[in-house]
């Protein structure tokens, strides 16, 4: 198998994959809602930030 043949196949595969991933929607991987973001940021940023302020 020549590298040239592989390069050609790679470019064809790239275009196929770009088409596929471009068609993905929120349903494909799930969607993090705004409420979920708020809770996540509260737990992940605000509370640790508060703890750092407290321990200072």
Partner 1 sequence: MSMTIEERIREEALFGRLPLLKEEREYSTRGIISTGFTYAVAAWCFLIGGYSANVVGAVQGIVTLVCGCTIGVIMSAAASALACNRYGLEQIDYTKSCYGQRGARLILLFYIINQIGWTGMILVMFGKGVTNVALGLGFDGGENLVRMCVLAGLIVGYWVINKGVHVLNVFNSIVFPGLLIVTGFLYWAIFKSADWATICAQPPIAPQDPGLNYILSFEYGLGAGFSWWPGIGFLTRNTDTQRNSLYPQVLTMGFGMGVVCCTGLLAGLVFRSYDPTVWMIKVGGPLFGVLSLLLVAIANVSASAMMMYTAALALRHVGMFRALPWGKLTLLGFIPVMAYVVTPSKLYDGGSAFLAYNATMFAPISAVLLVDYFWLRRGRINVSQVFEDDPAGHYWFWNGFNLPALFCAFFGMGLYIWLLNPVTYEAHGPVRWLTASGPATILPMLLYALLASLFLVGKKGGYGETVEALPLRKSNL
Contact residues for partner 1, defined by CB under 8 A = 1, 5-6, 9-11, 13-15, 17-22, 24, 28-32, 40-41, 44-45, 48-49, 51-52, 54-56
CB of 42 to partner 1, least distance (A): 12
Cα 52 to Cα 28, 46, 55, distances in angstroms = 38, 10, 5
Q: How far apart are CA 53 and CA 47, in angstroms?
A: 10
Shortest approach of partner 1 to residue 46 CB, angstroms?
Answer: 10
CB of 4 to partner 1, least distance (A): 12
**Tokens 């973001």 belong to which residue?**
37
């Amino acid at each position: 198998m020549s590298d040239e043949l592989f390069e050609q196949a790679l470019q064809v595969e790239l275009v196929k994959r770009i088409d596929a991933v471009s068609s993905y929607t929120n349903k494909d991987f799930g969607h993090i809602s705004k409420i979920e973001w708020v809770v996540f940021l509260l737990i992940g940023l605000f509370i640790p930030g508060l703890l750092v302020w407290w321990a200072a």
